[in-house]
Structure 1
Amino acid sequence: MRLILLGPPGAGKGTQSARLEQKYGIPQLSTGDMLRAAVKAGTPVGLKAKAVMESGGLVSDEIVIGIIADRIDEADCAKGFILDGFPRTVAQAEALTALLKQKGRGLDAVVELLVDDGILLARIEGRARDTVAAGGTVRADDNPEAFKKRLAQYHEQTAPVSGYYKSIGELRTVDGMAPIDEVTKQLDAVLAK
């Protein structure tokens, strides 16, 4: 099962990825984790990434795709993988499609968790209020202002990725606003097709 989960921050991709990992015995691949591992291992692509990161630059799509190419060839990806948080742009989606085609593979599913931005924001604001009321400190990712910026960035850069996958007939959707177990059932139904 080779799968991409799409959706804005707070949509539940991480929760569903963990469930899918367990059900299918496939790893969830995080580009950040993969970059750090490649740098630590000193792979050719990791050395390129290290040089860029040490200079304070952003790692190019070419380097990220190279790291993904190496990672999906590892033994634990033999049965598949879940990409959550990648691709972030249409250019990355196109590069991933080309990479998989080159390797004689394709995606089994691209699933977008459809959510309501207003409800997501209300959840984050409620979580922040509850944390403060309990005497705690609000985490950076539970800060409503920071969340609004992440959401705007998602809509500007990443939301078009859904359109790309829709245009090539690979996009499926589920109601990400449903209760967690219901979202899981919807995902199971989509993946069974």
Structure 2
Amino acid sequence: MLATGRGAGFRPQRDGVAAALDVLGDAVRRALGPGAAPPFADHVAAYVAGADFPEEEEALREAILSRGYGGRAAVGNDAFALLRAGARGPSGVAVVCGAGVNAVGASPDGRVSRFPALGRLSGDWGGGVLTARDPVLDGMVRRLLAERAPGAVPVVASVPPVAGAALLGLDALGAGGRAEARLREHFRAPA
């Protein structure tokens, strides 16, 4: 890990794509220094809240490329980053309980199923008040998994979702297992 930077909220639906990308650029400049200018990287891996549909992901990807932030870009919902942060393999299910609740599932053969966070339309209640270690939520998830997917094993990601986005970037670059282990170690919470 060379640098990190934190920015304001990334809200393309509320603020517009241009303003959301300004936030992304500002965060990169916080990490690299105020004089940093695009291209920031060979490959941009942006797994963000607010990219709930493939059309939104594509629009954000095109906007990132048009600003010259990187030579290549992959954009997806933050649920994909959480899935990669918690799973050691290509398959699994991730549920994000933040300002919105969304989920993604990926099968070993590459099929993907998504539950987007669409507010009242999808029954989204913004479960950010709960955490994976909440005993009520944990009990409910374990009970439902035992009933519907008896072979499933719940895992609480040991690194934050931003590490999952970085891991997806490493995957796209073909970085390999050593790079993944180093990145996971960098983001691992102190014991």
TM-score class, shorter? 0.3 to 0.5
TM-score normalised by the chain length of structure 1:
0.32
Q: Which has the higher contact order (CA 8 A, sep 6+)?
A: 1
Give the structure with the higher percent strand: 2
TM-score normalised by the chain length of structure 2:
0.32
Give the structure with the higher percent helix: 1
